[in-house]
């Protein structure tokens, strides 16, 4: 049944809630929709095939804002203990933030929040591009999927109207094919192009590290969000809209000024300037010199081809065309053509630093074009590259050491750098064919399947999440933030070699076992705040820091949020994620990393350094800094009281 509603006046939409009493309609509650919000959340029950619309109280928006925050608010309230990730009762929440679609830099972002089948805990995966902005322009701040369809379906949203449609004609297709097909099917003359978020074969087959892809190479990748989508037989979400995100009428000039300042700031400073000039591949050489590039499953540290994987070389040798996300001033995302060699003529999204490290140094491949090819394939299949690369590198190390043979791998010879074998393996995983069935559970399950010494070689954080694609042993801030993260991914910001003056940390913390957990308690609040706003990570890295986005947020919404209040939102989100995870059995031992990540590197800048002797004390210090019980890691009642969280 299609659901329709009449869009309100942009900017000042009045929302009235009525109740019936004595046979009359009585106004119970009324408010004005805030700038930055459309005031509508779609609820799609896939079991019943029904679609309804809901409002969210402005009081909730003020304390959870959007993105990860609003997503975990819904998840915490709607997914009780005992609900498994693939149960129809699990929720899959697509959430934008108030800044999404507003015109601030990098505001095409959306978050997908669910109970992860990979970790069993909460996950929030973000993606950029245009999809999030167009979802807002189509009239909705968020979509909550519940239940599961018996047959493949997709959701089509067109300017406030939503329909569930038969997906048989795209079920079985790879992500890029699905996207192209649905865009052509729903293209309307005179309307902006439809945008599509979809799963590929990996999601359909519920591979535990399947992601959700949009715009030919952007992925909400982490934690198996695509597998949950596949379990609900939901192939795609198509959005078409030409509305506008309302701006608080009294502060429109301030909002425009905030956008201008922020756009300039995003391109300044180390990370922003590099990404703007060379993409995140421009970080490769500096990361290599710091010892941060993973080589052969962290078994080695030298990668002679490093210069050919850096953005300077790539942008000189691979012709490309700018392909920026919604409202983004950065020359970051590009479509690139492989000019010669085996993959000549392929047009691909320029890989990120992590893609190049993952399908380059980490698997012993010294040809950047081959890394382009594998990145493109990973996206088409709809797999999370982090998990895929550390899985393949584990298999390669085990193959080299004789723990695995070609016979165990359906005849594939997994020598370092064997691109054809890697590609074939990825296809078998996504299709659950042959050995792929044993590898669809990710690094930890694969290590158990191999047995013998394999678990000792596996690279993962918590109890089963491949980390970001770095050699984290020389990046203690990054290893720690992923170990204690509620979602496996980076919860805070690594301050190994940089400061964060906007939150009062004036010096890098380096390898300080005391400084890292205290810094994490601060930077985690900031990062989680950013993931509530609905903007890209990279545009928040300028020297102006959080002052820019809080100014923009206030001018957009009409709020008067202080820096402290904004950081408290980030802290509240971390605590609610924590409570959700505790509901599903999270213990202190889940805040940990694999043995391989605690081994000291043999050489390079981190030679001989290991986090192992300090880790337990660092974890206690972090718990204390967060107002949590230092033994159990549970938030203390007074902390929850201060944050206004009721159990």
Residue count, binding to ligand SF4 (CB under 6 A) = 11
Report DSSP letters for 107-127, one per residue.
---EEEEEE-TTTSSEEEEEE
Minimum CB distance to ligand SF4 smaller for 296 or for 332? 332
Please, what is the minimum distance in Å from the beta carbon of residue 538 to ligand SF4? 4
Minimum CB distance to ligand SF4 smaller for 280 or for 418? 280
Residue 214 CB coordination number (10 Å): 26
β-bridge pairing 234-240 and 153-158: parallel
Please, what is the minimum distance in Å from the beta carbon of residue 636 to ligand SF4? 37
**At which residue do the structure tokens 């042993």 appear?**
473
Taking alpha carbons only, the member of 378, 407, 372, 376 closest to residue 391 is 378
d(CA 198, CA 213): 5
Which DSSP helix (H) or strand (E) runs through 385?
Answer: helix 385-400
DSSP 3-state assignment of 348? strand
Please, what is the minimum distance in Å from the beta carbon of residue 347 to ligand SF4? 17
Report DSSP letters for 195-263, one per residue.
EEEE--HHHHTT-TTB-EEETTTEEE-GGGHHHHHHHTTEEEEEEE--------GGGHHHHHHHHHHHH
The answer to whether 440 contacts ligand SF4 (rule: CB under 6 A) is no
Token digits of residue 345: 């003529």
Please, what is the minimum distance in Å from the beta carbon of residue 96 to ligand SF4? 14
The interface region with ligand SF4, picked from 87-95, 300-308, 428-436, 534-542 by CB under 6 A, is 534-542
Contact 466, 387 (CB under 8 A): yes
Please, what is the minimum distance in Å from the beta carbon of residue 99 to ligand SF4? 12
d(CA 514, CA 370): 42
Minimum CB distance to ligand SF4 smaller for 106 or for 223? 106
Please, what is the minimum distance in Å from the beta carbon of residue 383 to ligand SF4? 19
The interface region with ligand SF4, picked from 374-382, 435-443, 536-544, 572-580 by CB under 6 A, is 536-544
Please, what is the minimum distance in Å from the beta carbon of residue 335 to ligand SF4? 12
Report DSSP letters for 534-579, one per residue.
T--SGGG-STTTHHHHHHHHHHHH-----HHHHHHHHHHHHHHHHH
DSSP 3-state assignment of 17? strand
- Binding positions for ligand SF4, 293-332, rule CB under 6 A: 324-325, 328, 330, 332
Please, what is the minimum distance in Å from the beta carbon of residue 444 to ligand SF4? 29
The set of residues, in sequence order, having a beta carbon less than 8 Å from that of 369 and lying 6+ positions away, is: 318, 338, 341, 342, 343
β-bridge pairing 14-21 and 24-32: antiparallel
b/e per residue, 159-172, with b = 16+ CB within 10 A? bbebbbbebeebbe
Minimum CB distance to ligand SF4 smaller for 324 or for 512? 324
Q: Which of 73, 359, 399, 538 binds ligand SF4 (CB under 6 A)?
A: 538
Q: Which of 220, 396, 536, 611 binds ligand SF4 (CB under 6 A)?
A: 536
Instruction: Quote the longest CA-to-CA distance of the chain.
Output: 81
Contact 470, 287 (CB under 8 A): yes
DSSP 3-state assignment of 52? strand
The answer to whether 216 contacts ligand SF4 (rule: CB under 6 A) is no
Token digits of residue 240: 């078409």
Q: Which of 90, 128, 486, 551 binds ligand SF4 (CB under 6 A)?
A: 128
Please, what is the minimum distance in Å from the beta carbon of residue 279 to ligand SF4? 8
Please, what is the minimum distance in Å from the beta carbon of residue 327 to ligand SF4? 8
The answer to whether 287 contacts ligand SF4 (rule: CB under 6 A) is no
Cα–Cα separations (whole angstroms), residue 178 to 70, 114, 125, 184: 29, 23, 21, 10
d(CA 272, CA 270): 6
Please, what is the minimum distance in Å from the beta carbon of residue 330 to ligand SF4? 4
The answer to whether 580 contacts ligand SF4 (rule: CB under 6 A) is no
Q: Which of 106, 230, 351, 570 binds ligand SF4 (CB under 6 A)?
A: 106
The interface region with ligand SF4, picked from 285-293, 506-514, 532-540, 564-572 by CB under 6 A, is 532-540
The interface region with ligand SF4, picked from 21-29, 362-370, 414-422, 533-541 by CB under 6 A, is 533-541
Taking alpha carbons only, the member of 531, 491, 465, 481 closest to residue 126 is 531
Minimum CB distance to ligand SF4 smaller for 42 or for 546? 546
The answer to whether 539 contacts ligand SF4 (rule: CB under 6 A) is yes
- Binding positions for ligand SF4, 146-175, rule CB under 6 A: none
Minimum CB distance to ligand SF4 smaller for 517 or for 545? 545
The answer to whether 353 contacts ligand SF4 (rule: CB under 6 A) is no
Minimum CB distance to ligand SF4 smaller for 107 or for 301? 107
Minimum CB distance to ligand SF4 smaller for 328 or for 519? 328
Minimum CB distance to ligand SF4 smaller for 128 or for 551? 128
The answer to whether 96 contacts ligand SF4 (rule: CB under 6 A) is no
Minimum CB distance to ligand SF4 smaller for 119 or for 128? 128
Q: Which of 182, 333, 377, 519 binds ligand SF4 (CB under 6 A)?
A: 333
Minimum CB distance to ligand SF4 smaller for 121 or for 538? 538
Distance, C-alpha 592 to centroid of its chain: 20
Letters for 2-21 (x = contact with ligand SF4 by CB under 6 A, - = none) are --------------------
Minimum CB distance to ligand SF4 smaller for 53 or for 323? 323
The set of residues, in sequence order, having a beta carbon less than 8 Å from that of 101 and lying 6+ positions away, is: 107, 108, 132, 133, 134, 135, 136, 137, 245, 326, 534
d(CA 355, CA 95): 26
Residue 508 CB coordination number (10 Å): 17
DSSP 3-state assignment of 274? helix
Please, what is the minimum distance in Å from the beta carbon of residue 98 to ligand SF4? 17
Please, what is the minimum distance in Å from the beta carbon of residue 130 to ligand SF4? 9
Please, what is the minimum distance in Å from the beta carbon of residue 328 to ligand SF4? 3
Minimum CB distance to ligand SF4 smaller for 41 or for 219? 219
Minimum CB distance to ligand SF4 smaller for 327 or for 388? 327
Taking alpha carbons only, the member of 332, 263, 258, 272 closest to residue 541 is 272
Please, what is the minimum distance in Å from the beta carbon of residue 84 to ligand SF4? 33
Contact 136, 242 (CB under 8 A): no
Binding site for ligand SF4 (CB under 6 A): 106, 128, 324-325, 328, 330, 332-333, 536, 538-539
């Amino acid at each position: 049944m299609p659901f329709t509603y009449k869009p309100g006046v942009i900017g000042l939409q009045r929302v009235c809630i009525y109740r019936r009493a004595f046979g009359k309609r009585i106004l119970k509650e009324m408010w004005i929709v805030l700038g930055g919000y459309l005031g509508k959340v779609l609820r799609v029950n896939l079991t019943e095939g029904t679609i309804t619309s809901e409002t969210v109280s402005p009081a909730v928006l003020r304390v959870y804002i959007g993105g990860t925050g609003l997503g975990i608010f819904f998840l915490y309230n709607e997914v009780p203990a005992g609900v498994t990730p693939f149960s129809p009762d699990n929720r899959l929440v697509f959430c934008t933030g108030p800044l999404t679609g507003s015109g601030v830099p990098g505001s095409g972002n959306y978050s997908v929040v669910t109970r992860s089948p990979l970790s069993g805990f909460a996950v929030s995966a973000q993606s950029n591009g245009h999809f999030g902005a167009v979802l807002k322009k189509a009239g909705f701040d968020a979509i909550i999927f519940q239940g599961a369809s018996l047959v493949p379906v997709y959701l089509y949203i067109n300017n406030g109207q939503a329909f569930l449609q038969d997906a048989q004609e795209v079920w079985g297709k790879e992500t890029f094919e699905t996207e192209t097909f649905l865009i052509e099917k729903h293209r309307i003359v005179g309307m902006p192009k439809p945008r599509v978020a979809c799963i590929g074969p990996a999601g359909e087959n519920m591979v535990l590290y399947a992601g959700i892809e949009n715009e030919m190479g952007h992925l909400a990748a982490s934690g198996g969000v695509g597998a949950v989508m596949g379990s609900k037989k939901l192939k795609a979400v198509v959005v078409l809209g030409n509305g506008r995100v309302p701006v608080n009428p009294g502060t429109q000039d301030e909002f425009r000024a905030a956008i201008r300042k922020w756009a300039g700031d995003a391109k300044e400073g180390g990370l922003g300037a590099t990404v703007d000039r060379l993409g995140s591949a421009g970080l490769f050489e500096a990361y290599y010199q710091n010892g941060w590039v993973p080589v052969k499953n962290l078994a080695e540290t030298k990668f002679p081809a490093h210069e050919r994987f850096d953005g300077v070389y790539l942008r000189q040798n691979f012709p490309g065309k700018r392909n920026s996300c919604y409202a983004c001033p950065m020359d970051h995302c590009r479509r690139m053509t492989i000019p010669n060699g085996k993959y000549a003529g392929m047009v691909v999204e320029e890989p990120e630093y992590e893609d190049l490290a993952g399908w380059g140094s980490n698997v012993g491949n010294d040809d950047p074009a081959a890394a382009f090819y594998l990145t493109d394939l990973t996206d088409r299949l709809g797999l999370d590259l982090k998990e895929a690369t550390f899985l393949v590198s584990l298999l390669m190390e085990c193959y080299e050491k004789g723990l695995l043979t070609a016979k165990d791998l359906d005849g594939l010879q997994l020598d370092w750098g064997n691109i054809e074998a890697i590609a074939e393996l990825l296809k078998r995983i996504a299709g659950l064919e042959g050995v792929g069935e044993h590898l669809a559970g990710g690094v930890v399950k694969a290590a158990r399947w191999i047995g013998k010494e394999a678990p000792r070689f596996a690279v993962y954080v918590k109890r089963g999440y491949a980390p970001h694609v770095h050699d984290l042993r020389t990046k203690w801030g990054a290893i720690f933030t992923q170990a204690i993260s509620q979602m496996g991914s980076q919860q805070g910001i690594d301050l190994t070699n940089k400061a964060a003056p906007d939150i009062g940390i004036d010096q890098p913390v380096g390898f300080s076992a005391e400084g890292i957990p205290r810094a994490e308690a601060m930077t985690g609040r900031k990062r989680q705040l950013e993931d509530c706003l609905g903007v890209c990570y990279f545009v928040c890295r300028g020297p102006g820091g959080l002052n820019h986005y809080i100014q923009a947020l206030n001018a957009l919404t009409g709020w008067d949020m202080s820096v402290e209040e904004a950081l408290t939102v980030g802290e509240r989100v971390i605590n609610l994620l924590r409570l959700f995870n505790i509901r599903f059995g999270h213990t202190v031992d889940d805040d940990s990393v694999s043995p391989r990540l605690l081994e000291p590197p043999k050489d390079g800048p981190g030679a001989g350094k290991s986090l192992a002797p300090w880790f337990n004390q660092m974890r206690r210090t972090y718990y204390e800094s967060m107002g949590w019980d230092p033994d159990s890691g549970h938030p203390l009642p007074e902390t929850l009281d201060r944050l206004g969280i009721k159990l």
